[in-house]
Amino acid sequence: MRKYFASRGIEYRPIGDTSDQYYSHATREAYFRRIPDSSLEEAVVFFDPDIGLNAGSGSYKRRVGIDKYLFDEDLRGCSPRIGGSSVVVVYQHLQRDRSRFWDDIEDRCLRVCSAVGASGASFVTDRDVAFLVTAKDSVTRLTAARTIVEHAHKHGLDSGELVHRR
């Protein structure tokens, strides 16, 4: 990733990208607190948990590995420091139960909106994984949504936007 972004003249600021910096459930609050404010301003803030937003029972999460999840509280904790024009992207594995696909997408998008304080979120998915995208600023959010829908259309992926009604 460092080489890719450098070759395009884009500043890349990974947080916790070495094995001694990964967060564990016990250290997640400190991990997210140590993200520099400057890394959350006018940026694409990409959250890349192994699985995605937390879901399932506590025993299931412990069995799968609770460290593999991003919690709503993690996003809520970062939210006040995320700039309005920053784009927030969350990587998400989707349920295997295909009959719940749209409910799953809707739930995850609305949870991201709520945690970040945004009025909507868009998504792009191949129906196995999804990228959930939002921004606090409505112009930035709508620009990101349009870009995602265009990309999805070009590559035969599903996409859309959900509006969060508070």
pTM for the model? 0.90
Residue 160, pLDDT above cutoff 70: yes
pLDDT at 166: 60
CB 52 within 8 A of CB 74: no
Q: What is the β-pairing status of strands 52-53 and 69-70?
A: parallel
pLDDT at 45: 95
pLDDT at 20: 60
3-state secondary structure 88-129: EEEEEECCCCHHHHHHHHHHHHHHHHHHHCCCEEEEEECCCE
Two structure tokens written together for 54: 């937390």
Residue 115, pLDDT above cutoff 90: yes
Higher pLDDT, 67 or 166: 67
What mean pLDDT is reported for the chain?
Answer: 89
Q: What is the tens place of the pLDDT at every residue in 3-16?
A: 988 899 988 888 87
Q: What is the tens place of the pLDDT at every residue in 51-91?
A: 888 877 777 767 777 888 899 999 999 999 999 999 999 99
What is the extent of the structural domain holding 158? 2-163
pLDDT at 22: 67
The structural domain count of the chain equals: 1
Q: 147: buried, middle or exposed (CB in 10 Å: 19+, 13-18, 0-12)?
A: middle
